[in-house]
Structure 1
Amino acid sequence: MAHDPGAPLRVALLGCGVVGSSVARMLVEQADDLAARCGVPLELVGIAVRRPGRPRPDVPVDPSLFTADAEELVTRADVVIEVIGGIDPARGLILRAMEHGASVVSANKALVAEDGPTLFEAAAKHGVDVYYEAAVAGAIPILRPVQESLAGDRVHRVMGIVNGTTNFVLDKMDGTGAGFAETVAEAQALGYAEADPTADVEGFDAAAKAAILASMAFHTRVSAADVYREGITEVTAADIRAAQDNDCVVKLLAICERVTSDGSDAVSVRVHPAMVPLGHPLASVREAFNAVFVESAAAGELMFYGRGAGGDPTASAVLGDVVAVARHRVAGGRGPGESAYADLPIVDLGQAVTRYHISLDVADRPGVLAQVATAFAEHGVSIETVRQQAGPDGDGRAKLIVVTHRATDSALAATVEALAALDAVEGVASVMRVEGA
C-alpha cells in the first residue's frame, strides 16, 4: 500500500507502560533521524491508555494525545504499535487496525505464539505488514536474521536463554548459594521480577518465545501449546552445587530442534532448566541478559546476545520494526509474511534426545551399583560416569550421581521409574538434563 509522497506517516501507540513510555519518548527525541531513515516524518497521532488524565512526566508528548478510545485510534493510523500485551483486547485492536489499512508492530509474544496465523492471514488479506521483533529477546535482533539472513540456509537448532528474570535468579543462586525463594525476592526488589513472577519462573514466557522461534526457524506453525514447559521452581541449591561439581551452570533454556521421526523431519520444542558446560557460550550469560545460539547447515554456529527486556532495549527493537514497515509504506511494498510451507510434524518430549544428570539416594551396601546399572541398561540408556558420595558415618546411606550419554526422554523417564522401584534406591533426588555438551 503506497503512501502519499511527503505526507507524514500517522503512528498510533497502544499502551504506555515501561515499554510504551520509552517508545513515545524515542519517537519524539529521534524524530529527525527516524524521518530520514523512513523517508517521511512519523507523526504520533495518539496513545491509548486506560487512564488518559494521569500525569506522565516521563513521556514528552502533548497530554491531549492520550485517549481511552483505542478502537477509534487505530482507525486513523498508518502504523499501529501494540505494547499492551496479553491476548485481548490486543488481538481485536490489531485486526481492526489492519482492516483499516494500518501496518502493525507488536511486542506481544503471548498473542503471536497463541494466534499468530490469524494475524498473518489478516495482514496478507489487507496488504499490510505485521512485525514483532520485540516479542522475543528484547533488543536482540534474532527474528529478522533467522527469517531473512538465514533464508537461504537450513537451521538445525535454536537454543537460548530468552527470559531475563529466570537467568538472573539462577545466576544469583549459582554465585551466592542462596535458595530459590530468597533469590526471587531479590529479583523483585530490583525490578527484574513482577510481583507475581509465575509467567517467568514457570516458563510460560519462555515457551511463547520458543514457539515463535521454532515457527520461524523451521517454517512450521508452532503454538505455545506445542511447547513442553518446565519452570525453575523446583531447582534447588543442591542442583546448583551439583552443576558446579560437574563444571556446569544451570540455565532455563528454550530449545527448538529439527529432529527425525519415523524417517522424516520433525520439530521438537521444549523449555526446561538444564546444566550447561562452562565451555559453552550460553554458560557465560549473566544476570538478566539473554542470548540465542543458532546452529545451521551452512552458516554453522551463531550467537546473538544482549539485553532481553526493559523499556529502552525493547523500544529499540520496536522502532527498528517501525522503520522497516514505514519504508514499505513509502515505497509501496511489503515485508516477508508467514512462512509455514514445511508444515513439519511436532513431536512430543519423549522423542527429544539429550544427556542427563541423575542423583539417587541409595543404601550403602554391596550390589547396589550393579542393580542401578542394570536398570539403565534394560531401558537402553548408556552411563557415561558414576560417582558415589558416602553418607554420614554409620547411617548406611550413600548418594549416587549418574551422568548418561545421549538418550531419548522417554527412555530416561522409564529408567527413572524403574530406579524408584528398586529396594536399594531410597529416592530419586533430582533429574536434570545436560545441554550443549
Structure 2
Amino acid sequence: MLKRALEGVGGARRNLGWRSWRTRSLGTEVPKERVECVVIGAGVVGTAVARELALRGREVLVLDSAPTFGTGNTSRNSEVIHAGIYYPPHSLKATFCARGRDLLYKYCSEHNIPHKLIGKLIVATSNSEIPKLNHILIRGTENGVPGLRMMEGSEAMRIEPELQCLKAILSPFTGILDTHSLMLSLVGEAENNGATFSYNTTVIGGHVEQSRICLHISETKCLESCNGSFPSQPEMTLIPDLVVNSAGLSAPVLAKRFNGLQNEVIPPAYYARGCYFTLFNMKIPPFEHLIYPIPVEGGIGVHVTLDLDGLVKFGPDVEWIDGVDEISSFLNKFDYSVHANRAELFYADIRKYYPNLKNDSLQAGYAGIRPKVSGPGQPPGDFVIQGMETHGITGLVNLFGIESPGLTSSMAIAEHIATRYL
C-alpha cells in the first residue's frame, strides 16, 4: 500500500522513502506498490488534477522530477487569465478556457489569491490587419466571451494614450494573477485532503500488464548520473488504478516509453521557445490594460503584460527549436536563456503599437517553451486529452499540447478528468 511506501518519510515535503525501497529491492525483483491515483507532473495542471481527485476522496500521489512544484511552464508564462477569444468554437481550448476562467476567478476570490481583472485590448495597427481583427471578434463572440466590443483607434488611444492603432477589441474579462500563490494554494488543498507530493522522483517509463499501465520510478539523481542514458532498471514499479500523464514538455516522450502503448496514438512533439523582455527605468507603466497585437504563427504575438507589482513585460516571441534529447526533456534541461540581441526584434514589433518605446529600455527577462502538437506552417493544434477510448489502456490519461491557455484552463481540465475518468 502507499503508506508502506512512505515509511520513515518526514518533513513538509515528503519523498517516497527511497531507503526503504532499496532495502526491499536487494533481490532481483523490482519492488512493486499499488496506488489508487498517480499524477505525473506538479505543474499547475497536474496540481489542479491532484487537488480535484483528492477532494473527491481519492488516494493521490504526485510525482515530479524537480525539487519542488511549478518549475516548468507554470513559472514561465504571462500569468494571464485568458477570456477564451482566439480558439476554434467547441475546441477543447475554447471549452476549457471559458470554464476554467470562471472557476479560476471564483477560486482566486474565495482563497485570497492575488489577481486583478485588468482587461485587454487586441489592436490592429495597419489596414491589412483589420479583417483579421474582425475575425477575432466573430470567433470570440461565437465562444461566448462576455463584454467584447470593437472600438475605433481614437477611442482606444483615449483609454491608452501611449497606444497607436487603427482599431481595437476590448476584452474586459481578461485578467492577471500571482501564479505562485495559486500553486501554493492548490498544493496545500491537495495535501490537506490526503494527496502526497514526491519531488526529485522521475517516472522513466512503464509497461502494460493485463491492460493496465505499470510505472517505472527512479530517483532523479539516478537519471542525472546515467550519462545520457536511462537506468537499466527502475528502483520501483507503481501499479495505479488511474495515472494522469501531465508531464508537460516531456509528456509525449514519456508516453513513448510506455511499452505497450501504440506510438501511432502519440502526437508529434514540437517545441517553441518564447522570450520575455521587461521595461525598466520607468516608474509609471505606459499602459493600464494588457495590449495584444494580431496573433502570429505559433503564438499570439509579442504583447504587453503587467504583473501585480506593476512590472511591464513584453513577449513572448516564437522560436522553433529541435534536437531535444530524451534525458534533457525528462529533466527539463531546455535552453531557457534569453539572448540580448533578440531585443532588436522586440523593438520592431512593439513599436508598431507603442511608438514611444525608447532605445535601450528593454531588459532580458525570462523564457518559456510551449509544448505543441503542431509545427511550423501547420494549423494551431488543440489540447489532446487521451484516455482508454483512444489507446485501450485502462486507467491511463495522457495530456498532450497543454500550452496557453493551460493556466486558465487548469481547473476545468481537472474537473473534466475527475468527472470522466474516475
TM-score, normalising length from structure 1?
Answer: 0.26
Higher fraction of helix: 1
The structure having more radius of gyration, on CA atoms, is 1
Higher relative contact order, structure no. (Cα contacts within 8 Å, ≥ 6 residues apart)? 2
